[in-house]
């Protein structure tokens, strides 16, 4: 069974269980809430997905995100930029994210440092820089446009039971970005080079694909996505807290791995990642309904990560068996 199929089944089963316990689960309002809480995570996850497919791992993205989001707000205030503009802080954050991604690229493509070590190091550096040079205090009066954006809904009405049903307008751009990343990965030479890299660095290099160039693009793109995710996070939260997002690596990486991306590199799909993010959010937001205390959330996600990796290992050994069966029949038919 494909990874995506397993996830869809898991989502359905989990939903049925929760739905049977709490009737308000199967409401439009709840569905939209889950979507809303997935937007930022999905952006981070797409960046992580690209990195993981290429055979790397990135643990710096949460700090890149909050660095970009927080710094964009600080710059807006310091230089008294037009707070009514939504575009300025978003562009600022994307630029900052891309620059920080560039630092990762220099460490990884330039100096050849293993990706986990490199991003662990840069994560520390970025955090230190932000807290000492940019600021360490909580900002609650974020620019007006960002603040208002948090309540920009595409759909908004009161349901028959009187609850407010809202679907955030972000659903459109996030969907477009998701489709774009999917197309980049599946239909461009860059995207295929990312998969090639995950399949083997040396064979990829021998083909005439620039390994360093591809890696540089990967970490720049991941940085840009993280920057965007960071500023959207600030907007949706209506506050800029430099200490936020720390620790969200676990959720995101778990989502991507559950979505079928191989931690060894070479495999992974955008569709799987979308499902992974939805699944993790479903679990996190609804464990309480099952009577599980919220302090168990991290343990639950951690367990899911382990399960995801175990499933991959099982899948791999099954693939091996299939490989044998196949090569045998192939020999037969070639007669």
- Residue 315 binds to other proteins (criterion: CB under 8 A): no
| Residue 223: burial class (beta carbons within 10 Å; 0-12, 13-18, 19+) | buried
- Residue 323 binds to other proteins (criterion: CB under 8 A): yes
Could you tell me the two tokens for 312? 């991959």
Could you tell me the two tokens for 272? 């799987």
- From residue 262 to residue 301, the character string flagging contacts with other proteins as x (rule: CB under 8 A) and all else as - is ---xxx----------------------------------
Task: Provide the terminal-to-terminal Cα distance of the chain, rounded to the nearest Å.
Answer: 31
The H or E element that residue 219 is part of is: helix 211-237
Q: In angstroms, rounded to a whole number, what is the distance separating the alpha carbons of residues 95 and 210?
A: 24
- Residue 80 binds to other proteins (criterion: CB under 8 A): no
- Closest among 200, 195, 194 to 215, alpha carbons compared: 194
Answer for which of 153, 199, 300, 315 binds other proteins (CB under 8 A) is 199
Q: In angstroms, rounded to a whole number, what is the distance separating the alpha carbons of residues 49 and 129?
A: 26
CB 273 within 8 A of CB 257: no
- Residue 180 binds to other proteins (criterion: CB under 8 A): no
CB 172 within 8 A of CB 154: yes
Answer for which of 124, 173, 203, 302 binds other proteins (CB under 8 A) is 203
- Residue 145 binds to other proteins (criterion: CB under 8 A): no
- Residue 109 binds to other proteins (criterion: CB under 8 A): no
- Residue 140 binds to other proteins (criterion: CB under 8 A): no
- Residue 206 binds to other proteins (criterion: CB under 8 A): yes
Among the residue ranges 75-83, 85-93, 114-122, 196-204, the one whose residues contact other proteins (CB under 8 A): 196-204
Query: Smallest distance from the beta carbon of 52 to other proteins, in angstroms?
Result: 13
- Residue 1 binds to other proteins (criterion: CB under 8 A): no
- Residue 114 binds to other proteins (criterion: CB under 8 A): no
Residues 6+ apart with CB under 8 A from 305: 250, 253, 254, 257, 258
Which residues lie across from 158 on neighbouring strands? 164
Number of residues that make up the chain: 335
Answer for which of 13, 16, 176, 189 binds other proteins (CB under 8 A) is 189
**Which 224-253 positions form the footprint of other proteins (CB under 8 A)?**
none
**# residues near other proteins by CB under 8 A:** 36
Helix axes 189-199, 171-187, angle to 10 degrees: 70
Query: Smallest distance from the beta carbon of 116 to other proteins, in angstroms?
Result: 18
Which residue's CB is nearer to other proteins, number 288 or number 314?
314
What is the contact surface with other proteins in residues (CB under 8 A)? 186-192, 195-196, 198-200, 202-210, 265-267, 319, 322-324, 326-328, 330-332, 334-335
């Amino acid at each position: 069974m494909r990874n995506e199929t397993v996830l869809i089944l898991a989502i359905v089963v989990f939903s049925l269980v929760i739905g049977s316990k709490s009737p308000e689960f199967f409401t439009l309002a709840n569905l939209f809430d889950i979507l809303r809480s997935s937007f930022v995570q999905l952006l981070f996850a797409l960046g992580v997905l690209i990195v993981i497919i290429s055979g790397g791992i990135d643990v710096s993205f949460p700090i890149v995100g909050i660095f970009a989001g927080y710094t964009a707000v600080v710059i807006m205030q310091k230089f008294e930029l037009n707070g009514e503009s939504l575009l300025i802080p978003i562009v600022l954050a994307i630029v900052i994210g891309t620059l920080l991604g560039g630092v990762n690229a220099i460490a990884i493509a330039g100096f050849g440092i293993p990706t986990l070590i490199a991003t662990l190091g840069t994560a520390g550096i970025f955090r230190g820089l932000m807290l000492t040079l940019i600021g360490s205090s909580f900002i609650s009066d974020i620019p007006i446009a960002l603040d208002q954006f948090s309540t920009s809904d595409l759909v908004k009405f009161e349901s028959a039971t009187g609850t407010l049903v809202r679907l955030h307008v972000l659903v459109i751009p996030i969907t477009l970005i998701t489709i774009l990343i999917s197309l980049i990965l599946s239909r461009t030479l860059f995207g295929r080079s990312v998969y090639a890299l995950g399949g083997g660095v040396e064979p990829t290099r021998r083909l005439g694909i620039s390994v360093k160039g591809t890696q540089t693009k990967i970490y720049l793109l991941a940085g840009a996505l993280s920057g965007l995710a960071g500023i959207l996070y600030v907007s949706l939260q209506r506050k800029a807290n430099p200490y936020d997002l720390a620790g969200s690596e676990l959720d995101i990486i778990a989502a991507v791995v559950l979505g079928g991306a191989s931690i060894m590199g070479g495999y992974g799909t955008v569709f799987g990642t979308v499902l992974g993010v939805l699944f993790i959010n479903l679990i996190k937001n609804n464990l309480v309904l099952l009577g599980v205390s919220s302090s168990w959330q991290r343990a639950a996600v951690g367990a899911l990560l382990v399960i995801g990796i175990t499933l991959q290992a099982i899948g791999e050994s099954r693939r091996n068996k299939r490989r044998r069966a196949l090569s045998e029949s192939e020999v037969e038919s070639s007669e």
